[in-house]
Amino acid sequence: MTLAEEITFGGADFDRLALLRRDDARITHLLRQPETRVLPIWRNRVPVDGNDRLFMAPADHPVFADAVAPAAFLGLREGRALFARDISAWGGDSAAPVGGGAWDSTAHHHPETPDGCVFVDLRQVMFRLSPLDAELAAMSIGLFAWHRHHRFCANCGAASHITMAGWQRECRDCGRQHFPRTDPVVIVLVTSGNDLLLGRSPGWPEGMYSLLAGFMEPGETVEIAARREVFEETRIKLGPVTYLASQPWPFPSSLMIGCRAEATNRTIEIDSQEIEDARWISREEVMAAWANPGGAIIAPREGAIASFLIRNWLSGRLS
Ligand SMILES: [Zn+2]
């Protein structure tokens, strides 16, 4: 797909300089440089100013007084080192749970950040951020979520320790190394002539429909997973499956793998354990839903791969 790198969280051409992560002295030196900037992350939320830019500060800024671990090295941009640091121990707004949640629209101001700067769930602002800010935010949210959920060695159960400038954990008891995980998810744009197959899960905003998706299982190719998920949820069978685009989805650790396929049957039988509804919707009905946000069918969230793929399908740019 020629436009695949225009997707949210893709295409910033950011240099992560992963080889530097093992050089503790160099990382420490970079962190102390006055031009270095550090992104604070609070309870899975990112700080965004009134101009839809991430708030970043030097490493000795007071916003980092409540940091719970050393800063993680993100990479280098135009000669400036960029880091992120988890400040979730800040308790100024203790009502806010860790994680926020998919539909969390709350905003939280930290007194050490500028007026107008608030910590919000990344999904609320991702489509308004610059490509670089979106990638930095996705990296940081995903990385710190992994640390929060993997504090103990999966092999022996002992507490593990952060290494490699934030990109690895090691167990000093058994020696096992642990790496940030990514869980692949297939998401499939299924068509039948002029119609698009859309479904909805329980708990989504009323009227919202999106592409069918599901986690890949061990031993599956992307194509097999796409066929299995669509058939399990709707009893629709697919012709050839082709890859379109991917999107990191750090809530907490998914990689969305976008595919398309033409259905070979039309009769939908939903699995009510998996989804609440599924239906064929014509191109004209989808276009109307996009044009009229208050209608009976609500489009998927802007910035998510489903929205990206459907928009490109509508405009005939999926090839
Ligand atoms: Zn261990």
Does the pLDDT value for residue 98 go beyond 70? no
Backbone angles phi, psi at 175, to 5 degrees: 85, 0
For the stretch 102-106, contacts whose Cβ atoms lie closer than 8 Å and that sit 24 or more positions apart, written own/partner, are 102/251, 103/205
Interval between CA 138 and ligand 1 midpoint (Å): 28
Quote the ligand 1 centre to 163 CA distance (angstroms).
14
Residue 23 has pLDDT above 80, yes or no: yes
CA 103 to ligand 1 center in whole angstroms: 36
183-314 CATH choice from 2.60.120.10, 1.25.40.10, 3.90.79.10, 2.40.50.360 = 3.90.79.10
- Residue 95: pLDDT band (50, 70, 90) is low
* 8 Å CB contact between 164 and 22: yes
Give pLDDT, residue 100.
64
Q: How far is the CA of 157 from the centre of ligand 1 (A)?
A: 6
Identify whether 62 is preceded by a cis peptide bond (ω within 30 of 0). no
Q: How far is the CA of 119 from the centre of ligand 1 (A)?
A: 35
Query: Measured between alpha carbons, how far is residue 194 from residues 280, 284, 314 in Å?
Result: 9, 9, 10
> What is the average pLDDT value for the chain, to the nearest integer?
93
Cα(279) to ligand 1 centroid in Å equals 48
- Alpha-carbon gap, residue 103 to 83, rounded angstroms: 27
In the reported structure, the alpha carbon of residue 137 is separated from the centroid of ligand 1 by a whole-number distance in angstroms of 30
What pLDDT is recorded for position 96?
Answer: 64
How many whole angstroms from 155 Cα to the centroid of ligand 1? 5
Q: Which of 139, 146, 147, 97 is nearest to 122 (CA)?
A: 139
Predicted local confidence at residue 78, as pLDDT: 87
Neighbours of ion ligand 1 (CB under 5 A): 153, 155-156, 158, 171, 173-174, 176
- DSSP conformation letters of 236-277: --EEEEEEEEEEEETTTTEEEEEEEEEES-------TTT-SE
Domain ranges of the chain: 4-149, 183-314
In 3D space, the residue among 20, 171, 148, 34 whose CA is nearest the CA of residue 86 turns out to be: 148
pLDDT tens, position by position, 121-142:
999 999 999 999 999 999 999 9
Q: Average pLDDT for residues 25-37, to the nearest whole number? A: 97
